[in-house]
A and B are shown apart, each in its own frame.
Chain A
């Protein structure tokens, strides 16, 4: 069964450093989502792509976060510089165009020291 791939699974960094996360959606899925999940909370949407275009990045802290999906396939989420409050699980999900079911990857657990 096809799955959403994410790497790395775990990342420990010091504050002010740069970090990057990678996501490879299920083949053929046009829509890609990045979520942030703080411990004990539900996921919160950071950015949504339709193919290579950003559909919604209203909750993305644009002073330090950036996301790209250059060829409309895999995607990278970057944080520069990382802050202590960025410690969270970063989840990637994908869905087929016109459908509502999102398939989630295993996530990247970020710890900022």
Chain B
């Protein structure tokens, strides 16, 4: 059974700092890995999707990397802003005959002005 772990569970940084969120997964036979953002009491917004054959994806100040063989991914946020405060969730698409997303518990990010 696929398990996804995110470290740290919570992170507080001053505005302008660069930061890294970590994600690990137990079964490397994944189809892709996705990073989502969730604001309090809201649904999820897709940030980045990395196919299993890719090493990284970039969108604006966000860069996600994937090392499938070691079961790890990182989300790098450059020049953090208070508006980046949210929970960031990592999810892997895997499952053999019927792929589904397995989520981690998320990292709660607070960016202080």
Q: What's the tally of chain B residues with a CB closer than 8 Å to chain A? A: 23
Query: Which one of B14-22, B67-75, B103-111 is at the interface?
Result: B103-111
B residues 72-86 with Cβ under 8 Å of A? none
Report yes or no: A91 in contact with B93, Cβ–Cβ below 8 A: no
Report yes or no: A41 in contact with B98, Cβ–Cβ below 8 A: no
Report yes or no: A91 in contact with B44, Cβ–Cβ below 8 A: yes
Q: Contacts of A103 on B, CB cut-off 8 Å?
A: 46
Q: Contacts of A12 on B, CB cut-off 8 Å?
A: none
Closest to A99 in B: B49
Tell me the complex Cα distance, A101–B101, Å.
10
Say whether, besides A100-B31, A100-B32, A100-B49, A42 and B104 are in contact (CB < 8 Å). yes
A45 on interface, CB distance cutoff 8 Å: yes
Closest to B89 in A: A42
- Interface band, chain A: 20 to 34
B4 on interface, CB distance cutoff 8 Å: yes
Tell me the complex Cα distance, A56–B96, Å.
13
Report yes or no: B43 in contact with A106, Cβ–Cβ below 8 A: yes
Report yes or no: B93 in contact with A100, Cβ–Cβ below 8 A: yes
Report yes or no: B101 in contact with A109, Cβ–Cβ below 8 A: no
Tell me the complex Cα distance, A55–B106, Å.
27
B41 on interface, CB distance cutoff 8 Å: yes
A105 on interface, CB distance cutoff 8 Å: yes
Q: List 20 A-B contacts (CB under 8 A).
A: A4-B43, A41-B105, A42-B4, A42-B102, A42-B105, A45-B101, A48-B98, A56-B98, A56-B100, A89-B41, A91-B43, A100-B32, A100-B93, A101-B46, A101-B49, A104-B36, A104-B43, A104-B44, A106-B42, A107-B42
A-B pairs, top 7 by smallest CB distance, nearest first, are A42-B103, A104-B43, A104-B44, A106-B43, A107-B43, A45-B100, A56-B98
